[in-house]
Structure 1
């Protein structure tokens, strides 16, 4: 095994450690220990409702602790094929909402509306819930919501900005879950895919509350220069509600059970185990992917060698072309292009802990100094492909796509930069 091959193997091992640390079953066990559930009231029912990319695994662990739950329902994405007995599993579209998601949302709303003051509802929330449960208000179609989602994803907005808008066009988000569930008691356990762990932004805060108002959503869309492209029904809905005063959402007990930072710490521990000296450089690698690449390149050129540098976060990409890729693939490609002339031996990995980067089957990219020569040898031009947002084709040509299949969890993205002596 060459030195570069060894570094690539170690980078993948660190990524796998991050995913393992975000294991949904472990997270639920941790959550029940941190915030034990009270006993149900006499005559009351227990509802287990899991929402998000990690829903089946979270629900499966909850059923171990509460095998006699009256309702056990999981809503996850189509690609998550985790088997789950003794419960109802609905699968829906992500990142763009679909009819299956609309039906799942209606199922959840029906269940919540049937709850009484004697019932307890245990919500297991993970990333992806925003798209998986589209519940548009009257006058807004699912097609219009899907169009809104497309525009938000392509505008370079961060997850908090996107979910601020999504909350204002939903009956379940931004505390809507709690309003529908009242007067039942709600206990939520959240696996965070949001940098900074703002509970209002995880799956758009169904059990928490809104990030902002309809007026804030309008301002966000205008600042992103997409207001005029938003479907008319949604613009009318936001305009008609921008001066509306909404009372506080009902109370709930919300417990954070997993996060990007915990995965970074697990990566650091794994690095020490395999003989590396790790440094967590940042748990907030956010903003435009081009700026993030420059940050990584700065670390690559200034850090003493050897070293293992770890990052976590979630960057954004402004779509200017028609190619295929995701933020992790583009970040990896940009780093490979920016470091191609360096003499140091290095590898860089950027991957989504959910195993899916954008609308592709790759989790991200794993690149080294040989990436650009391999792309060129395959008859491709990295500059042309990058200009068309076609990072997937570029990394595929170089044999540098990070392939994991869906992991069943999601705590945003992690990056590994290994530099040899």
Structure 2
């Protein structure tokens, strides 16, 4: 049996963490914003005033990077981010909100952004900086809907196993800003939206529920998602009423010619950075998937199948992919999709072992996996033995959605702290 003390295994674990940090660095929000704005200096010269609004987990560094470009004409600057990523930014009002569950700070921050954008005039520029987590943070419920209703909807969607595209098909129906409504609020002002993507295909209508994107959601599509996951029956009455009202309304087409949406960072960009670095140290690099999605159980099985096939190659091998899986929560334990994916991978390998030293890492690029302080997990062939020796049953832990405590017992939590960015998840499997 491979032990945790083996120097080779220790080296593989260090390499995996280093590659994960490379993925996070490739999504550096300050560098991405500055690079995009340097190319658009003519835009700033042509406008009368600038309104800056940033929301998401990278709101503070994105706003900081933009300030040197806007200061001369800036009238308002607001950044709304999650509590873990709050930091002072000179000249910017920073507001903390809840993520993944919105709170009163989310309400206050969204209202401040709404007021700022609504003051835009013809000849102005509204600079919008969007990053992962923006949808939960930008909480602006329509009249008649309370924060408790939004929280109930958000929790139900997250626990249902719906993917991010499905979740963000529902959210705009219950918002004053999502689904292109922020762009509409800006009137005739020019809107420039710089976006860090955390969704498959970098669909701007899905990222943060598309506040500056041409609307693609509908009440009918939202109802389909709610029915698919059995959520309609228990939906708060105010939300049912809102959905029925929206379904009866005819949407008025809006001209979005004044809006420019640019994706400046994404999971694909970070994954390319990982592949490039891995190729310098590993003889073979296998790209397992362009976007890993679906139920975490199926995703773990697919990754283990690919890893076993890759293990037949000669020399050191790296298997990498990125995306965002889903977990249907039925227990009352603590964990997140990346921690559960890592634990499931270890259990699958116990049934069909890879006969060479290996490590598997799954982590969220934001540094926060589910409602925990871990980015994810990093396991090896000895992880399950460590858990059991310390009194944790990994199978029982998964049944209770308690991957966090199982991985903590074996020293297999991936702890990075909040990274200030978010381009979904990265998976790295290394074999010597």
Question: If the length of structure 1 is used for normalisation, what is the TM-score?
Answer: 0.97
* 2:414 paired with 1:402: yes
2:154 aligns with 149
Q: Is the 8 A contact 1:41 1:119 kept in 2?
A: no
1:198 aligns with 203
SS in 2 for 1:249: coil
Deviation at 1:31, TM superposition (A): 2.1
Question: Which of 238-247 and 284-293 deviates more?
Answer: 238-247
Q: Is the 8 A contact 2:145 2:239 kept in 1?
A: yes
Specify every segment of 5 or more residues in structure 2 that has no aligned partner in the other structure, as ranges.
Answer: 1-5
Distance change (3 Å), C-alpha of 1:37 and 1:132: farther
2:402 aligns with 390
Matches within 5 A, 1:70-109: 70-109=75-114
Deviation at 1:40, TM superposition (A): 4.6
Deviation at 1:35, TM superposition (A): 5.2
Distance change (3 Å), C-alpha of 1:276 and 1:55: farther
* 2:50 paired with 1:46: yes
1:2 aligns with 7
SS in 2 for 1:227: coil
- The count of corresponding residues between Structure 1 and Structure 2 is 419
2:277 aligns with 270
SS in 2 for 1:206: coil
Q: Provide the C-alpha distance between the structure 2 equivalents of 1:36 and 1:276, rounded to a whole number of angstroms.
A: 43
Over 4 Å off, 4+ runs: 33-37
Q: Provide the C-alpha distance between the structure 1 equivalents of 2:124 and 2:172, rounded to a whole number of angstroms.
A: 26
Q: Can you list the C-alpha shifts for 1:6-41, whole angstroms capped at 9, x where unaligned?
A: 110000010000000000011112322555551355
Question: Which of 244-253 and 127-136 deviates more?
Answer: 244-253
Deviation at 1:275, TM superposition (A): 4.7
Deviation at 1:416, TM superposition (A): 0.1
Matches within 5 A, 1:202-241: 202-241=207-246
Q: Provide the C-alpha distance between the structure 2 equivalents of 1:402 and 1:152, rounded to a whole number of angstroms.
A: 26
Question: Which of 68-77 and 2-11 deviates more?
Answer: 68-77
* 2:125 paired with 1:113: no
Residue of structure 2 aligned with 1:329, choices 339, 346, 349? 339
SS in 2 for 1:189: strand
Distance change (3 Å), C-alpha of 1:50 and 1:276: farther
SS in 2 for 1:351: strand
Deviation at 1:344, TM superposition (A): 2.2
Q: Can you list the C-alpha shifts for 1:121-140, whole angstroms capped at 9, x where unaligned?
A: 11011111111111011111
Specify every segment of 5 or more residues in structure 1 that has no aligned partner in the other structure, as ranges.
Answer: none
Deviation at 1:84, TM superposition (A): 1.5
Deviation at 1:216, TM superposition (A): 1.1
Q: Can you list the C-alpha shifts for 1:146-201, whole angstroms capped at 9, x where unaligned?
A: 10000000010111100110011000000110111112111111110111100001
* 2:321 paired with 1:316: no
* 2:141 paired with 1:136: yes
Question: If the length of structure 2 is used for normalisation, what is the TM-score?
Answer: 0.94
Q: Provide the C-alpha distance between the structure 2 equivalents of 1:169 and 1:34, rounded to a whole number of angstroms.
A: 36
Q: Provide the C-alpha distance between the structure 2 equivalents of 1:20 and 1:61, rounded to a whole number of angstroms.
A: 15
SS in 1 for 2:277: helix
Q: Provide the C-alpha distance between the structure 2 equivalents of 1:254 and 1:57, rounded to a whole number of angstroms.
A: 19
Deviation at 1:250, TM superposition (A): 4.1
Q: Provide the C-alpha distance between the structure 1 equivalents of 2:211 and 2:254, rounded to a whole number of angstroms.
A: 10
Question: Which of 13-22 and 177-186 deviates more?
Answer: 177-186
Distance change (3 Å), C-alpha of 1:102 and 1:348: same
Report the aligned-residue RMSD.
1.4
Q: Is the 8 A contact 2:44 2:70 kept in 1?
A: no
Q: Provide the C-alpha distance between the structure 2 equivalents of 1:327 and 1:380, rounded to a whole number of angstroms.
A: 19
